[in-house]
Amino acid sequence: MKLILASNSPRRKEILSQHGFNFDIVVSNFNETESGISAKELAKNNAVGKAKEVYFRLQSQGEKDFCVLSADTIVYFNGKILGKPKNKEQAIEMLSLLSNNTHTVITGYSIISENSIKNGIEETEVVFNNLSKKEILEYVETGKPMDKAGAYGIQDGYNLVKELKGSFYNVVGLPIETVSPILANILK
Query: Which DSSP category does 159 fall into?
Result: S
Q: Is 65 a catalytic residue?
A: no
Q: What is the amino acid identity at position 168?
A: F
Question: Which residue in 24, 65, 72, 147 is the catalytic one?
Answer: 72
Strand-pair partners of 123: 106
68: three-class secondary structure by DSSP: strand
Rounded to whole angstroms, the Cα distance separating 79 from 82 reads 10
Rounded to whole angstroms, the Cα distance separating 20 from 183 reads 11
- C-beta separation of 5 from 69 below 8 A: yes
Residue 94 is inside which H or E element, if any? helix 88-98
Q: Which residues are catalytic?
A: 72
